[in-house]
Structure 1
Amino acid sequence: MPSLNIRRNDQVEVIAGSDKGKRGRVLRVLPGASRVLVEHVRVVKKHVRPNPQRNIKGGIAEQEMPINISNVMLVCPNCGPTRVGHKLEGDHKVRVCKKCGQTLAGKK
């Protein structure tokens, strides 16, 4: 499984594709497929069959589809979209912004 610099609840910006420029929160990371599910990005319409047991109404629903991880870039709170570096702080490996050097949220 590849090591990914993007994790759940990170703020990312789409840098390629039809949704280029959109920003959103990562809902789910699929490391095996090298894809991420980003909020309000790559929204498609899906026909849903009604299921009374699960209390699901039928019709046409909109949902997000996964986007390739190479098409998104992590957003630094200070300087915007940036590449990610790694640094050891004590015994923890942390992600750092390549532009400003600020530590990004979460531990690796």
Structure 2
Amino acid sequence: MILGGVAVNAAIFIVNDLNNRKIGVYNRRVVKAVGGKAVPILLTILSTCFGLIPFIMEGQNEIFWFSLAIGTIGGLVFSVVGVFLALPVFLWRKNGVR
């Protein structure tokens, strides 16, 4: 649930910025929307990953928290790929005009 929420909110954040940009070629607006929202999205993901590092440091002593931290960090790293690579590909238009 955490990972889906972060990835979906990041995608909504980017698409909203894209919809607010009205001037220019569509594909350039996609690149600008993704680039413009990259810093806040990455800061959110990185702060969550760094916040979970103490649970990894405890190691095998706390099985639940260790597994939760590893799974969450792995999912967040994968969501970066989805948000910054897959989403722009799906938003990209062949002729780039609209």
Common fold, TM-score beyond 0.5? no
TM-score (norm 1): 0.27
TM-score by length of 2: 0.28
